[in-house]
Amino acid sequence: MAKFLPPDAFSAQGDALTLLPFNFERIGSSNDYLVANLVGDFVRLTQAELNKLVDLQLQPGDGLYERAYAAHLVTREGQQSQRQLLALRLRSRMSFLRQVTPLHIFVVTLRCEHSCPYCQVSRQSTDRSRFDMSEETAQRSLDVAFQSHSPRIKIEFQGGEPLLNFPLIKTIISAARAKSSTTNKAVDFVIASNLALLDDEILAFCKQNDVLISTSLDGPADLHNKNRPRPGGNSYELAVNGLRRAKEVLGPDRVGALMTTTEASLDRVDDIIDEYLKLELDGIFLRPLSPFGFAIKTKQYHRYDIEKWLAFYENGLRRIIEINRSGKPFREFYAALILSRMMSDRPIGYVDLRSPAGIGIGALVYNYDGSVFASDEGRMLAEAGDNTFRLGHVNKDDYRSLIMSDRLIDTISSSLTQCAPECSSCVFEPHCGADPVYHHATQGDALGIKPLSAFCARQKGVMRLLLRMLEAPSDAAILRSWAT
């Protein structure tokens, strides 16, 4: 009868140990360190263990060797399997690069009947129809969008308030469906609206054409109306009524809402979450202000710093965990995105978590006047006179000339966090992303100085919070369910 060999027969022999790429960071004021491998698998080590790892003072059976080997921090000099596995996982995480430009944003008008002080867009009054996209510009924009190599594209209608130019939306959707049938390219549609103008005709059209609705909801009536004023002071009433009607006609999974955190929101996170629960929404995106458009002109962006927002975010996330613990499924969508990034190798479509940046290759924006931008934020900068991220015009350019433009290639090349100063040595780099438009707007440089970047502080702050919460088994079970 054959016998098993003794345990030492299975120990690694011969080839010396060698380190694989990893980054590390001290955890608070403790002597423990957070260590992450090339694809962001985390392991917690004491200072003594980290010193042993760096000095390769590891032996099979000592516990540290097994942990370091399982976390892909060390390998044997003659062994290729660890490196090949890391390369395979990295390729999977970056496979979003194969699906070039799936999102196409059509700014069908700059007109809006709201006057939100934090608005990222340089909106225009409702009587200035020269800020509407023409049918000719729309058709040329569609031609460019359908030249994308992505087998499935999404067309999102934005403004201003896009429903102020609803006849053009109908024309674009009809033309896009005709192109879809002849090009064998699938197409989805989204309208981002404040819902004030939503009526039965619009809802019937959206149902017939399988159009998704995205709206803004900043919280209870007093907060929403303060953040999003309009004539009559009934922004909240119109948004909530529109949201409920849209859910009834289109289905609950065809309507979503986003909130924006203003200074008035900071001490009201429970009220905001309760409003989303009352409307039977399945989650919330606790979103900070962005440094564009009227948010800069009205100085709204400078009303609070990132530390105050992170405190707001933590209070909200912990409240949401309690809601889930009581048996009600409800997610914080930004945490769910980051957790998915941390716990799997699935590619992420959300551009804030992409490296290289998702501008251009993730989305193109067709302005009402035919100008094409690498991102919606880049379009917002242009409305303030900064054309850094303007790639061309639909009357002169096709998809290839826009995507292969020196301006876009240079920006994307400089956005690789794997090569960027500070990012390349950061323990959170595999799960973060690059936002060249944000850094250009706030620092005048697309790469940005990371220690001075609020974007960087926000990303790291959220990830540190999630890692702390994952150490509590009851919290971890809920958070892990969001990632899957």
140-198: pLDDT as tens digits: 999 999 999 999 999 999 999 999 999 999 999 999 999 999 999 999 999 999 999 99
pLDDT score of 344? 93
Mean pLDDT of the region 199-225: 97
Spell out the alpha helix ranges (H) of 55-165.
64-70, 81-93, 135-145
Q: How many CA atoms lie within 13 A of 477 on its CB side?
A: 7
Mean pLDDT of the region 204-209: 98
pLDDT score of 294? 46
Mean pLDDT of the region 126-150: 90
- Residues 357 and 437: their CA atoms lie apart, in Å, by 10
pLDDT, averaged across the chain? 91
pLDDT score of 298? 47
Is the predicted pLDDT of residue 50 greater than 80, yes or no? yes
Is the predicted pLDDT of residue 122 greater than 70, yes or no? no
Q: Do 58 and 65 form a contact (C-beta atoms < 8 A)?
A: yes
Mean pLDDT of the region 130-139: 95
- Residues 441 and 430: their CA atoms lie apart, in Å, by 24
- High-pLDDT (> 70) share of the chain, %: 93
pLDDT score of 350? 85
pLDDT score of 260? 93
Query: What class does CATH assign to 99-403?
Result: alpha beta
Mean pLDDT of the region 109-114: 90
Strand partners, 33: 26, 45
pLDDT score of 296? 47
User: What residue segments make up the domains of the chain, in order of their start?
Assistant: 15-93, 99-403, 413-470
Q: Which residue has the tokens 């308030």?
A: 161
Mean pLDDT of the region 272-282: 97
- Helix (H/G/I), strand (E/B), else coil: 103: strand
Name the pairing type of β-strands 390-393 and 371-373. Answer: antiparallel
Q: Do 357 and 351 form a contact (C-beta atoms < 8 A)?
A: yes
User: Burial, 366: exposed, middle or buried (Cβ in 10 Å; 0-12, 13-18, 19+)?
Assistant: buried
- Residues 228 and 217: their CA atoms lie apart, in Å, by 9
Q: Which residue has the tokens 């990303």?
A: 459
Amino acid identity of residue 473, one-letter, is: P
9-24: pLDDT as tens digits: 655 555 799 999 999 9
Question: Using 50, 70 and 90 to split pLDDT, how confident is the model at 30?
Answer: confident
Listed range (120-134, 150-164, 330-344) with the worst mean pLDDT: 120-134
Listed range (65-69, 247-251, 290-294, 431-435) with the worst mean pLDDT: 290-294
- Helix (H/G/I), strand (E/B), else coil: 282: coil
426-469: pLDDT as tens digits: 999 999 988 899 999 889 988 889 999 999 999 999 999 999 99
Higher pLDDT, 316 or 99: 316
Question: Using 50, 70 and 90 to split pLDDT, how confident is the model at 353?
Answer: confident
Phi, psi of 37 (to 5 degrees): -80, -170
Nearest Cα to Cα of residue 217 among 228, 206, 231, 203: 228
Peptide bond into 421 cis (omega under 30): no
